[in-house]
Amino acid sequence: MTDATTEATHSGGSAGAVPAEDPTAFGWLNTADHKRIGRLFIACSLLFALAGAIADLLVRFDLASSSDHTVLNADSFVQVFTFTRDALVFGMLIPLFLGIAIYVVPLQVGAPNIAFGRAAALSFWGWLVSAGVLVGAYIANGGPGGGFSDGVDLHLLALAGLVISLLAGAICVAVTTLTMRAPGMYMDRTPPFAWSALVTASMLVVSLGVVLGQIVILYIEHRYGPRFLGGNYGIWSRIDWMYRTPQLFIYVVPVLGVVAEIMLAAARRWVFEPLALYFTMGLVGLFGFGAWANFGITDEGADIVDGLEGIVLVGLYAGALAGVSGLLALLGFTLWQSRNRPRPRSGAVSLTRPNTAVVAAFGAGTLIAVAALVGLIGAGVDWLQIAGRGVDGNAPLRFTTWVTGQQSLLIYGAGLLGGLAALHWWAPKIWGRRLSELAGFASLLAIGGGALLAWLGPTLSGVFTEQPQFVYGAPLLTTRYADQVDDTGASAAEGLSIVGTIGVVIVLVGVALVVLNLLVSVAMRKGAATEADPWDGLTPEWLLPSPPPLGPAAALPELTSGTPLLDAELNGNGLNGTGAAAERDAEEVPA
């Protein structure tokens, strides 16, 4: 991108131009302001987090009995199970971080508004309407395994609407980062979260484009064709890869951006090699491309993956683990370098005075690394057929409840903890008020502890109880423990399922605490009002008022760095130089 292009868009080009905002309540309906759109995404995604956790709880209650269905029946079990995945991934995980990115990224790169503001607004309303239609389709006995043919078609249409809407929002974020940066702010100087949002948006365009094509084929086949893909029970085998690893790693790349933002602010120091930081995030996104591994997570691909081609799955997990480990190592080294650096003021965030954002960010980053490591081990076990996996009816781990454990670790653990860290970190900028630290730590402990239990139960069940390989077309899918294990393993599976159920209950309490914290601190205005930069942050959004006024920014700071506040501390000039260069120059000056 040339400087001329950057300057044109920064000075109010058509990509960011929107009419003045209506300050009334009606303005929320026709808004094109990225700040309002971001808030709408955040609020609604948290409601879907509650709905998804409740649905998951119903499923796990049913799994906790080895005798028969206790809460659901054989017909509704499949719909509730698949709705849980839809709600947690397309209702909570992707929209939550998309909303945060829509709000924060323009402020970080010095853009007056999100690119294509009307398209961003359409993204939210399209997502919300499609989500409502999706819920209606499930209620009408649609969805994978549904008994009402029109309801199944409606589910596919709603899922396509969700995908298209999220794609539109991702494109707006990507275009903003690529073309609307302040003059002089090059890609290697963007803040970590803006870069992670670009990586995620780019990979969503690629991966969601694939699944959109699959949904179109499934719709045509189910409504008009001979149903050679399995009809209503064949749908899940074609789209299951969207809800499991390695694809889940793409959805949590923004969490790595949040971790980097908070840890670098705590260190009050820039990484010694910024390109390595950006590269590690890109590596996680690249190796999280689940469509690469689609052959390995369907029953048709079982023989392929158990052969030499199984190294593909091992390589995907290894690449993701290398990216996460490299990023955490960079941040850890930076924190170690800053161990003796004096704090500029008492209110600044630091490791010696950790708040909810710092602890949640540390936990989220750690859980992503654990998920990548466990995934690598599981892929290796399947590939090498260790402990007879894939032999004599003993299913490979990727076809057992081990997958449910991976989902719990990344969605409940990394996703919700990363979202909690982001909300506490940027709440002053988004709403102008701090969230309660007491409620924050309580929700942190509940979400973190519950996620570990929700991961541990199904993971151990998949490893230590013999679960015969499922057939995707079977009405009860594969996650019903009682239908998977033999007589000797049923009691063990039941006990481990109870552990996972308790974990989901605790996670649900944690999510409810987050929602309650927002209602009290923000809606009821009980949270402490803040200044522009309450944390002593590094990145450009902390130069602006908290919260920024509605509408496009009338005046933006001239930026040449993603860390202007660090530059101000090191150079005595808040808007010149880069944080990394300024820090190196400062260290070369003799004492």
pLDDT in tens, 402-441: 888 999 999 999 999 999 999 999 999 999 999 999 999 9
Looking at residue 440, what is its pLDDT? 95
Looking at residue 423, what is its pLDDT? 97
Residue 252 pLDDT more than 90?
Answer: yes
Q: How many domains is the chain partitioned into structurally?
A: 1
Looking at residue 233, what is its pLDDT? 72
For residue range 48-78, list pLDDT tens digits in order.
999 999 999 998 888 776 556 677 777 788 8
23 lies in some domain? no
Looking at residue 307, what is its pLDDT? 56
Looking at residue 583, what is its pLDDT? 44
For tokens 């944080």, the residue is 579
Residue 557 pLDDT more than 90?
Answer: no
Distance CA 181, CA 201 (A): 16
Domain range enclosing 578: 3-7+32-588
21 lies in some domain? no
Instruction: Give the confidence band of 537 by pLDDT, cuts at 50, 70, 90.
Output: confident
Q: Phi and psi (nearest 5°) for 384?
A: -90, 0
15 lies in some domain? no
Looking at residue 313, what is its pLDDT? 84
Looking at residue 10, what is its pLDDT? 45
Looking at residue 269, what is its pLDDT? 85
Mean pLDDT of the region 488-495? 55
282 lies in some domain? yes
Distance CA 224, CA 217 (A): 10
CATH label of the domain that carries residue 324:
1.20.210.10
Distance CA 425, CA 434 (A): 9
Residue 299 pLDDT more than 70?
Answer: no
Helix (H, G, I), strand (E, B) or coil at 531: coil
Lowest mean pLDDT among 60-69, 176-185, 299-308, 504-513: 299-308
266 lies in some domain? yes
288 lies in some domain? yes
User: Does the global pTM surpass 0.75?
Assistant: yes
284-317 core/surface letters (b: 16 or more CB in 10 A; e: else): bbbbbbbbbbbbbbbeebbeebbeeebebbbbbb
25 lies in some domain? no
Mean pLDDT of the region 130-147? 91
Q: Phi-psi category of 589—alpha, beta or left, where left has phi over 0 and alpha has psi -120 to 50? A: beta
Mean pLDDT of the region 492-500? 77
14 lies in some domain? no
